[in-house]
Amino acid sequence: MVMASSGHRGEYQWLVSEQMDIHRLLKILPEVALGKCLAISLFDSGPLVPTDEERNKGWQVHGRLTVVPDVVDVRDLPSDLYDEWYLFTSPTMPEIPETFTNCGGFTLEPPQVSQEFARAQASVGAQADVKMIQQAAERQQELLASFWAQMERVRPDTYIGDGDHFVFVTLNSLLFEKVQKAVRSRQP
């Protein structure tokens, strides 16, 4: 059983879980997106190309982003695996150059290097394992630094990444508590 983990960075609170996804979250808590401006940076690992019907509803393409200026019905929002969303309290056309959900195993949890080192040192071929663990930890640190730098630059109210892990980040502490409660209720 994998439990959710959480923490904070500056004004943001974050949660990582394997028990939630965007579709379930919106079904339980539509207020996560209702009335917000949504910038979709990834849909099923790539850019979302809005349909003519979606464009007629005001959806716009801004570089690699699809922007929904005002979410009025969460059932209209597409979700799949490897999606990445940025939600804002007012309409905006953000610059979001990097995506993270496609980075294998992306999480906001700090690398557990000491536990992995202890395991590797007890195994055959420990030198190779230790080197791989160190490289993975360095890559995770680089991803985290890039992620938080982009969050500080773009300043979304909420970020949702739905890939190998469900990652939820928000400035809204009330919303964070609701999402955390929803995730806990889904754990076996």
Range of the domain at 91: 5-108+156-186
Report if residue 113 sits inside a domain.
no
Helix (H) or strand (E) holding 23: helix 22-28
Q: Which two tokens stand for residue 141?
A: 């640190």
Report if residue 138 sits inside a domain.
no
What pTM was estimated for this model as a whole? 0.86
Query: Average pLDDT, stretch 79-85?
Result: 91
Report if residue 77 sits inside a domain.
yes
Q: In the chain, how many domains are there?
A: 1
The mean pLDDT of the chain is 87
- Cβ neighbors of 172 (< 8 A, separation 6 or more) are 157, 158
- pLDDT 10s digits, 106-146: 888 776 544 444 555 555 555 556 666 667 777 878 889 99
Report if residue 139 sits inside a domain.
no
pLDDT more than 90, % of the chain: 66
Report if residue 136 sits inside a domain.
no
Q: How far is CA 154 from CA 13, 70, 88, 97, 166, in A?
A: 16, 18, 10, 10, 20
Centre a 10 Å sphere on the Cβ of residue 100 and count the other Cβ atoms it contains.
20
Report if residue 126 sits inside a domain.
no
**pLDDT band of 1, cuts 50, 70, 90:** very low
